Structure 1
Amino acid sequence: MARPERPAGPVPARPRSTTPLADYLDRPAPGAGPDYLVVPRGLAEAMPLRWQQVFAGLLADLHDAYGHLDWPDYRVVPSRWELLRDLDEEQLAAAGYVADLDPQGRLEYRDASGEAVPDPDGHRALAPVEESLPRPGDEVPPPRPAPVL
């Protein structure tokens, strides 16, 4: 039985996306939200040297291309989605909620507009938490290889 002829020229590659960064960040990824990408400095500085060189080059390109725009300063607060009932007074306030006793003496949660939260036991809010990732200069475990995309 004869083998089929192989087509001449390079084997066609799978088409690639024209929006690979958006494709990656549109799926759940640590530090990524709909409007921002946060890269903890302690982890970035702990990357292997080659990664740091590439990353620094990409950041330099980004800043060269868009540095002329009026960039705001950003305040990044480590936060997690937590149940209202698990938050302390400071976390509630930072998330835009208050807890108080209703006329019957039961704990009631209200949002920033003063509306009562209907299901406080199941309601989650993005609240500040203690930083859990290494800071610059902290010891960081070696990186785990990422799966091939």
Structure 2
Amino acid sequence: MARTDPRQPLPRTPASTTPLADYLDRPAPGAGPDYLVVPRSLAESMPLRWQQVFAGMLADLHDAYGHLRWPDYRVVPSRWELLTDLDEEQLAAAGYVADLNAAGELEYRDASGTPVADPLQHRVLAPVEDPLPAPSEGRVEPRPAAPL
């Protein structure tokens, strides 16, 4: 529809009422369906102004929801891996076991004991070594901005 009066503002698409959910619902590092993980070493490496804003937002979050019973969280660096590529420790942490069946073939079972139908194609979230530096290792330099 064309504007009849050029002094009239263009119609605007309304802003989302759920911008954080909109952002986190797409693939984003550290974001899952239930949690957002921000590595401390990267947060502490942000420019000072970003840290000030982020600290203020966290203070507001904790002030608003501090009355709830927050649990302690254990964050385990993990990656989606093929079941057949995991070692015994990773299998156990992901809730699987590998053992020889009656025919002498390697069989993978989940925590309930059910055999995995196609272990060569089955991916699981398995613990891995953290590829990000610890906060004690100092500042992490961000990648340079793209040229204009």
CA-atom RMSD, angstroms? Answer: 1.8
Q: What percentage of residue pairs aligned between the two structures are identical?
A: 76
Q: TM-score, normalised by structure 2?
A: 0.89
Q: Give per-residue Cα distances to partners, 1:85-104, cap 9 Å, x unaligned.
A: 11000000000000001112
Aligned length: 142
Amino acid at match of 1:35: D
Residues of 1 paired with 2:33 and 2:95: CA distance?
20
Amino acid corresponding to residue 96 of structure 2 in structure 1 = Y
Residue 66 of structure 2 aligns to which amino acid in structure 1? G
TM superposition outliers: structure 1 runs of 4+ over 3 Å:
10-14, 143-146
Aligned position for 1:14: 13
- Which residue of the partner structure matches residue 50 of structure 2? 51
Aligned partner of 2:142 in structure 1 is 142
- CA offset at residue 107 of structure 1? 0.7
1:24-35 matches, within 5 Å, as: 24-35=23-34
Unaligned runs of 5+ in 1: none
Per-residue deviation, 1:6: 2.5
Match for residue 102 of structure 1?
101
Separation in structure 1 between the aligned mates of residue 49 and residue 11 of structure 2, nearest angstrom? 30
TM score, norm. by length of structure 1 = 0.88
Q: Distance in 1 between matches of 2:89 and 2:122?
A: 17
| 1:47-78 C-alpha deviation (Å, 9 max, x unpaired) | 11111001000000000000010001100000
